[in-house]
Amino acid sequence: MGRLLAGGVRELVSLRGRHWKAQGVEIEQLSDDEVIERLLADPLSLRRPILWQGERLLLGFSAETYRQLR
């Protein structure tokens, strides 16, 4: 899945979400492995929804993007 994310695993993190903010850490200070460990420990920090469509991975809700998928 990592190769589908242009910005790497950091794209999976809901940075504005309260669960991530409660961790009190700047994502830039973490390695990819540390980001993944934190997401595994607190899956509510994941951006949702996650839609995997063939070679595309869509993160977060966008009504316009979802309309284009029809």
Nearest to 38 by CA among 10, 3, 60: 10
Segments forming the whole domain that contains residue 50: 2-68
Structural domain total, the chain: 1
Percent over 70 (pLDDT), the chain: 96
| Band of pLDDT at residue 1, cut at 50, 70 and 90 | low
How far apart CA 18 and CA 7 sit, in angstroms, is 22
What SS3 state is found at 45? helix
pTM: 0.79
For residue 45, give the CATH number of its domain: 3.40.30.10
Which pLDDT value is given to residue 10?
Answer: 93
